[in-house]
A and B are shown apart, each in its own frame.
Chain A
């Protein structure tokens, strides 16, 4: 069998192959990625698209959760304040209902309760980033406005917003103000107005009844307060989950398309060795022919 005399083309192909490997190894070291184009690993590339979509979703869910949490905390604070105010009113009512309390003292308490009513209304009109916390889904309007006869009119609606903080998790972000402050039979604003009126001109029994109404309202507001507490707990837990999920996704990205520095460096060293060995061998083989040894 005659051997292939024109091995220069074979050598050129071998050199090109090692140079290609060297280039790939260099790219892996410089980018830290095993997959730089879809054709490097189509399945991993497609999985990366899905992974990055999921990661971006998590980012957005986190932003939504942060925003919803701040809103819920603001509402929570407003309701805590309301609970304190209602407790103060109950103390004043209890004092006023006592038959030994003087008319002057009752009047003084009535004035204080009117102040408390204004403070509760103020809490009910609390806003967050310009959005009314207790106005339902209505926007650009104050939730409660004075009705001219010592009471308040609700300007919002009874709708509720939910915010997406996960692929299948939506958290309620508001409780409509009429449900918290003007619930039938447990109206915080109504009972405070009733108490102020009773303290001004009512009997001990009427003051007592009004105080009981405030107590009912307090209990109801506390129940509504718990809704926000639940939302806050849910949002905090979801934030933790999202942060963990992003860590998992990042680690998946690395295993899909990344390459460890050690492996990349090892590949580079191997490619360099192969390349220089091929070049060295080519340099030795190429110039040698029988003619080199013939006398001139």
Chain B
């Protein structure tokens, strides 16, 4: 059974509902550019009908609350791809620096090999020339220094990546801790029946930041997200977070430890941390070993060729290069022997000063394959190829993931993003409904007055 009072009540509910809708629209517009914000919608439902049978009237509108529009599955895929892209980006960044150590022309090991062997070849025209011999010695020094410089460049890159490991672990810990705190707030607000959209947005945004740092796995447990690294090391469990630790390993590089102190460095994949560890612990050591092998075998071959000839004083040739007894560290430590002088170059094959017979043996090192399977300059070319491929592959992987990530982000944006046009339309719509409800109240008020004037009259 209706009446003016019932109508007034319905109109009043209408005002409240439109007010709520306007406040949601306002909040959406305010957060149109907030990263991670998911647009909210107002949930309205019809009021329960009042009366019975044909005379039952609608019960107005009921405000059910607000909810954020989001697609969890999409968010998960974005996190996974973000993780892969960050890894590729970290590798691209590292190799863009490393590849400058391996120039193709103008300078670098390739040019130094050429200069060294050219100078040796010059000796064949005039084996007794002091100037030519000095050139050989100088270019041998340049070559040794270039090996030292590349080796040091690779080591420095590893050190710099270690610093990134430390800072990434610190960021992971900060984010884990934030998420645990937010989980705690989420529990409390949910218990109080409050709108938790904002908290969920923040958690989602933190999870995305976390996936930029490393590959994570998220499982929902009692409405709260539990987060582990890709290999299962716990980061967040409900309102509790587990901080990762760092320590310097036996190789002098920073290692990642879980909260109980177990080393988990090798199991970390994905994210910038995964990319940095992959580059630092796998790719760069591989390059370093190849460079060491090249330095070791090249120096050994030259020293052997020296031993086959005679120096300018007519005595048996001695080692031109000093290298460690093992391959490891050869590129860093190769140097021209401290006793070597211009006269030490063993150009002669018969002990006479004008003989160039041993130049052929020294020159043969340039063209013959070393034990590693290629001549020195071809071995360097192979290193250039590898470094170029590392950088190019990481870049193209990043580009490929970038394309699919852009599509996923577009999808997420079309689902959860704020459209100013849509909100403007809604605003006009809610404004009109609000004005109409207000008009109803005003009309009912007039009717009350009219009725009361009859009674009073």
Cα(A41)–Cα(B99), bound, Å: 12
Binding stretch for chain A, among B243-251, B323-331, B332-340, B410-418:
B410-418
Contact A159 B391 (CB under 8 A): no
Contact A64 B392 (CB under 8 A): no
Least Cβ–Cβ distance between B394 and chain A, in angstroms:
9
A135 interface contact, C-beta 8 A: yes
A57 interface contact, C-beta 8 A: yes
A50 interface contact, C-beta 8 A: yes
A68 interface contact, C-beta 8 A: yes
Contact A294 B424 (CB under 8 A): yes
For A1-37 the 0/1 string (1 means CB < 8 A from B) is 1111110011001000000000000000000000101
B387 interface contact, C-beta 8 A: yes
B155 interface contact, C-beta 8 A: no
Least Cβ–Cβ distance between A143 and chain B, in angstroms:
11
Cα(A4)–Cα(B114), bound, Å: 58
Partner of B424, one of A9, A42, A291: A291
Contact A138 B125 (CB under 8 A): no
A209 interface contact, C-beta 8 A: no
Contact B420 A39 (CB under 8 A): no
Cα(A170)–Cα(B356), bound, Å: 12
Contact A46 B125 (CB under 8 A): no
Contact B114 A139 (CB under 8 A): no
Contact A135 B356 (CB under 8 A): no
Contact A52 B354 (CB under 8 A): no
Which chain B residues border A289 with CB–CB below 8 Å? 420-421, 424
For A130-143 the 0/1 string (1 means CB < 8 A from B) is 01100111111000
Contact A48 B105 (CB under 8 A): yes
Q: Which of A35, A40, A43, A290 has the most CB of B within 10 A?
A: A290
Contact A45 B353 (CB under 8 A): no
Contact A39 B417 (CB under 8 A): no
**What total of chain A residues lie within 8 Å of the partner, measured CB to CB?**
57
B156 interface contact, C-beta 8 A: no
- Given known A137-B355, A289-B421, A291-B424, contact A38–B99 (CB-CB < 8 A): yes
Cα(A167)–Cα(B366), bound, Å: 10
**What total of chain B residues lie within 8 Å of the partner, measured CB to CB?**
67
Partner of A159, one of B100, B355, B409: B355
- Given known A13-B406, A53-B113, contact A39–B121 (CB-CB < 8 A): no
Contact B410 A10 (CB under 8 A): yes
Q: Which of A49, A131, A291, A294 has the most CB of B within 10 A?
A: A49
Contact A52 B352 (CB under 8 A): no
Cα(A5)–Cα(B417), bound, Å: 6
Q: Which of A42, A67, A257 has the most CB of B within 10 A?
A: A42
B18 interface contact, C-beta 8 A: no
Contact B354 A136 (CB under 8 A): yes
Contact B388 A39 (CB under 8 A): yes
B389 interface contact, C-beta 8 A: yes
Contact B424 A57 (CB under 8 A): no
Partner of A53, one of B114, B390, B409, B428: B114
Cα(A9)–Cα(B412), bound, Å: 13
A206 interface contact, C-beta 8 A: no
For A157-188 the 0/1 string (1 means CB < 8 A from B) is 10101111001001000000000000000000
Cα(A132)–Cα(B354), bound, Å: 9
* A139 (CB) vs chain B CBs: closest residue: B354
Contact A37 B414 (CB under 8 A): no
Contact A45 B126 (CB under 8 A): no
Partner of A37, one of B99, B350, B380: B99
B122 interface contact, C-beta 8 A: yes
Contact B350 A157 (CB under 8 A): yes
B44 interface contact, C-beta 8 A: no
Identify which of residues 124-148 in chain B touch chain A, using a CB-to-CB cut-off of 8 Å. Answer: 124-128
- Given known A38-B99, A159-B355, contact A52–B105 (CB-CB < 8 A): yes
- Given known A38-B387, A64-B121, A161-B357, contact A3–B414 (CB-CB < 8 A): yes
Which chain A residues border B387 with CB–CB below 8 Å? 38-39, 42
Cα(A5)–Cα(B33), bound, Å: 11
Which chain B residues border A67 with CB–CB below 8 Å? 125-126
Partner of B381, one of A47, A57, A139, A291: A47
Which chain A residues border B356 with CB–CB below 8 Å? 137, 161-163
B382 interface contact, C-beta 8 A: yes
Cα(A57)–Cα(B428), bound, Å: 80
- Given known A37-B99, A60-B122, contact A5–B419 (CB-CB < 8 A): yes
B102 interface contact, C-beta 8 A: yes
Which chain B residues border A13 with CB–CB below 8 Å? 406
Which chain A residues border B413 with CB–CB below 8 Å? 4-6, 9
Partner of B360, one of A50, A164, A257: A164
A129 interface contact, C-beta 8 A: yes
B359 interface contact, C-beta 8 A: yes
Contact B122 A136 (CB under 8 A): no
Contact A6 B417 (CB under 8 A): yes
The 27 sampled A-B contact pairs (Cβ below 8 Å) are A2-B415, A4-B417, A5-B413, A5-B417, A5-B418, A9-B409, A38-B391, A39-B96, A41-B388, A42-B386, A42-B387, A45-B388, A47-B381, A50-B378, A52-B110, A52-B111, A60-B118, A61-B121, A67-B126, A68-B125, A71-B125, A131-B128, A139-B128, A157-B352, A167-B367, A294-B424, A294-B428
Interface residues of A (CB under 8 A from B): 1-6, 9-10, 13, 35, 37-43, 45-50, 52-53, 56-57, 59-61, 63-64, 67-68, 71, 129, 131-132, 135-140, 157, 159, 161-164, 167, 170, 257, 289-291, 294
Interface residues of B (CB under 8 A from A): 32-33, 95-96, 99-100, 102, 104-105, 110-111, 113-115, 117-118, 121-122, 124-128, 348, 350, 352-357, 359-360, 363, 366-367, 377-378, 380-382, 384-392, 395, 406, 409-411, 413-415, 417-422, 424-425, 428
Nearest 6 pairs of A and B residues by beta carbon: A42-B388, A38-B388, A5-B419, A139-B354, A39-B391, A46-B385
